[in-house]
Amino acid sequence: MSELLEKTCTACVAGAPLATEVEIATFSPQIPEWKIEEMDGIKCLIRVYAFDNFVQALAMTNKVGALAEEVGHHPALMTEWGRLTVSWWTHKIKGLHVNDFVMAAKTDALYQAG
Amino acid sequence: MSELLEKTCTACVAGAPLATEVEIATFSPQIPEWKIEEMDGIKCLIRVYAFDNFVQALAMTNKVGALAEEVGHHPALMTEWGRLTVSWWTHKIKGLHVNDFVMAAKTDALYQAG
Taking only the tens place, the pLDDT of each residue in B20-58 is 999 999 999 999 999 999 988 999 999 999 999 999 999
Q: What is the pLDDT of residues A57-86, one digit of tens each?
A: 999 999 999 999 999 999 999 999 999 999
Interface test with B, best of A46, A56, A58, A90 (most B CBs within 10 A): A58
| Cα-based angle B98, A62, A38 (whole degrees, multiple of 5) | 80
Interface A:B, Cβ pairs < 8 A: 49
Q: What is the DSSP letter of B38?
A: E
* Cβ-count burial A31-53 (b if 16+ within 10 Å, e if not): beebeeeeeeeebbbbbebebee
Of all residues in chain B, the one with the smallest CA distance to A66 is: B55
H/E segment holding residue A113: helix A98-113
Q: For chain B, where are the E strands, in sequence order?
A: 35-39, 42-50, 76-80, 83-88
Model-level pTM? 0.93
ipTM of the shown complex: 0.93
User: What is the chain B residue with the closest CA to A87?
Assistant: B80
Radius of gyration of chain A (CA): 13
Q: Measured between alpha carbons, how far is residue B95 from residues B14, B20, B37, B76 in Å?
A: 11, 11, 10, 14
Query: Residue A1 — pLDDT band, cuts 50, 70, 90?
Result: low
Helix (H, G, I), strand (E, B) or coil at A49: strand
Query: Looking at this protein, which amino acid is placed at residue A106?
Result: K
